[in-house]
Amino acid sequence: MKIRTIKAVGIAASLLLTTSMALAQATAVRGEVRKIDEAAGKITMKHGPIKNLDMDAMTMVLRVNDPAMLKKVKVGDKVTFEAERAPEGVTITKMQKSK
């Protein structure tokens, strides 16, 4: 009985991890930095579709939830980011340089 329970828990954990990874990949967006406005905490990004927000590919100004993100990129950098709708507008919650 204990072995079956352990196997079931292992399978459930594996499915949860796989689902979480798939969701993270589904919300990740590729983009290119076009302009940075550190004073305003905004970045202009040419990006692919933002599926979780039902947005097509375009170039737009986005807010960042952490202004320190803007110090890690420069105009022309290719990035991967995640965004959410916030009261202030569409906001980048995670961002990293692409390889």
pLDDT digits (tens, 9 = 90+) for 38-95: 999 999 999 999 999 999 999 999 999 999 999 999 999 999 999 999 998 999 999 9
Question: What's at 32, amino acid-wise?
Answer: E
Asked if CATH classification 3.40.720.10 holds for the domain at 29-97, the reply, yes or no, is no
Beta-bridged to residue 60, according to DSSP, are: 45
- Confidence (pTM): 0.73
Beta-bridged to residue 35, according to DSSP, are: 44
| DSSP conformational letter for 73 | -
